[in-house]
Amino acid sequence: MGGLKQELGLAQGIGLLSTSLLGTGVFAVPALAAVAAGHSSLWAWPLLIALVFPVAIVFAVLGRHFPSAGGVAHFVGMAFGPRLERVTGWLFLSVIPVGLPAALHIAVGFWQGMFGWQGSQLLITELGTLALIWFLGTRGAGSSANLQSIIALLIVALIVAIWWRGGIHFADIPFPPLPQVSLSEMSSSLAVMFWCFVGLEAFAHLASEFKNPERDFPRALMIGLLLAGSVYWGCTVVVLHFDLWRDQGAAASLPVIVVELFGKQALWIACTIGYLACFASLNIYIQSFARLVWSQAMYKPDSALARLSGRQIPQHALSAVILCCIVCTLAIYAFSINLDTLIIYANGIFITIYLLCMLAGCRLLKGRYKALAIVGSVLCLLLLVVPGWKSLYAIFMLAALWFFLPKRRISASPSVHS
C-alpha cells in the first residue's frame, strides 16, 4: 500500500532497529544472563545471534520484496490469504493491553530510581511519555529515526565509557573453555536473552518508508541486529567484570556500576539513558501499531483511520493507538494488575507472530531463503514451549480471532522469490 512518506535512510534504519532491540532489556538482561550462566553467558550471546540470524534474514528478504505498512500481517496475507492476514494483524494489536503498559512501567521506573516517585507521580509520567510519543509520531518516521539514532549513540557511548573507566581490555575477558560450558546453564540464559531480539516484527512495518527499501531495509535490519547484540555482549562483560550482579537486582547492577566508577552525580546519566532506551522501544512499537491500523483500515477508504495527514502520517490511527494505551494504563493502575504476568503473555504473542512470519517465508520464498524460513519455524516452535501454559493466551487469541473476524477479499496474490 502506498501513501506513506519514504524518508528513511540506512543510518536511520539502524538507529530504529538497534534501539528497538535494546529497549527495556539493555540494563536488566545482561545481569539476568550472568545469573543464569555466569561466565558462560559470554558464549551465549554469539550463539544466540547465530540462532536469530535465520529469522532475521527471512524478515529482511520478505521486507525487501514486499515492503508494506502491514508488516508481518501483509506477508502472512500474501502467503495464506486475507483471513489469516487480519488475524495476524489483530494478534499483533492484542499486545497493546498486555505489553505496552508493562514496558511503560519499566521506563518510568528509572525516574523512580532518581527521584523516588511513587503511585500517581509514576502514572502522570507514563501518560506524559505517551504524549511525547504521539507528538514525535506526528512529525514523521524520520523524526523518530533521528532521535533513536541519537539514543543508540548514547547507549554505545555509555558502555564504551564504562569499559574505559573500568580498565576493561579484551585480553582480560574470562572466556571459559568450551568443554567447561554447561549446556543447561546456556539453555537457561538463552531463554532469558531471546527477548532482547523481539522487535524485528515492529521494524517490518516501516519497510515501505525507506527511500530505497530493497537496498537499505535488509542492511539496516542485519547491521542493527549485530549492533544490538554487540551492546548486550559488552554489557555482559561489564556486569561479570564488576561482579555486582550477585548482590544487586538485575536492573540495578549497571546503574550501580556507573555510580561506582563516576560518582553519585552520574546516576542521572545512567537513568536518563535507561529511560530513553525504553522510550525508543515504546516509540517504534506504537508507530508500528499505528501503521498496521492504517493498513487494515485501507479496506474502508472512508474511515478516518485510513486517512493520512498533510505530512503523509497515519495520524488518526496513531491517536487511536495512543488512546487505547492510555485506557489500558489507567485500568492497570486502578486495578493494580501484576505486570510481570502481562509481559509473559505478551511474549507468547510475539513468538506466535514470528512463527507466522517464518511460515509465510516457507510459502513465499525458494532456495536457501526457504531453508532458512524452515529453520526459523522450528526455532519459533521450540521457543513457544518455553513460557509453558502461558503460551495458551497467544494460542487462544489466535483461535478466537480466526473464528470471530469476518473474511475480506483482497486483490493481491502471492509472489515467489528465490
Q: Which of the residue ranges 143-147, 158-162, 341-345, 389-393 would you say has the lowest mean pLDDT?
A: 341-345
Helix axes 392-404, 339-364, angle to 10 degrees: 60
pLDDT at 2 > cutoff 80: no
Q: How far apart are CA 266 and CA 263, in angstroms?
A: 6
CA nearest to 45, candidates 317, 232, 174: 232
Helix (H, G, I), strand (E, B) or coil at 104: helix
Confidence at residue 407, expressed as pLDDT on a 0 to 100 scale: 65
Q: What is the pLDDT of residues 152-195, one digit of tens each?
A: 999 999 999 999 999 999 888 888 888 878 777 777 777 778 77
Confidence at residue 249, expressed as pLDDT on a 0 to 100 scale: 55
Confidence at residue 215, expressed as pLDDT on a 0 to 100 scale: 92
For the chain, the straight-line distance linking the first and the last C-alpha, in angstroms and rounded, comes to 23
Global pTM exceeds 0.75: yes
pLDDT at 315 > cutoff 90: yes
Beta-carbon contacts of 103 under 8 Å, excluding residues fewer than 6 positions away, are: 23, 24, 278, 281, 282, 285
Per-residue confidence band for 127, with pLDDT thresholds at 50, 70 and 90: very high
Helix axes 267-297, 10-22, angle to 10 degrees: 110
Report domain extents, the chain: 10-404
CA nearest to 232, candidates 30, 35, 14: 30
Q: How far apart are CA 317 and CA 307, in angstroms?
A: 8
Residues 330-334, mean pLDDT to the nearest whole number: 89
Q: Which of the residue ranges 134-148, 217-231, 236-250, 282-296 would you say has the lowest mean pLDDT?
A: 236-250
Quick one: CA dihedral 99, 114, 123, 274, positive or negative?
negative
Confidence at residue 247, expressed as pLDDT on a 0 to 100 scale: 58
Ordered DSSP codes for 50-70: HHHHHHHHHHHHHHHHS--TT
Q: What is the pLDDT of residues 235-262, one digit of tens each?
A: 999 988 887 666 555 556 788 889 889 9
Q: What is the pLDDT of residues 355-408, one digit of tens each?
A: 999 999 999 999 999 999 999 999 899 888 876 676 788 888 899 999 988 766
Per-residue confidence band for 23, with pLDDT thresholds at 50, 70 and 90: confident
Q: Which of the residue ranges 25-39, 192-206, 253-267, 340-354 would you say has the lowest mean pLDDT?
A: 340-354
pLDDT at 410 > cutoff 50: no
Q: Of the ranges 31-35, 326-330, 392-396, which is most confident?
A: 326-330
Helix (H, G, I), strand (E, B) or coil at 103: helix
pLDDT at 128 > cutoff 90: yes
Considering the segment(s) 10-404 as one domain, its CATH architecture is: Up-down Bundle (1.20)
Confidence at residue 392, expressed as pLDDT on a 0 to 100 scale: 82
CB 130, CB 104: distance < 8 Å: yes
pLDDT at 220 > cutoff 90: yes
Confidence at residue 245, expressed as pLDDT on a 0 to 100 scale: 63
pLDDT at 413 > cutoff 50: no
pLDDT at 341 > cutoff 70: no
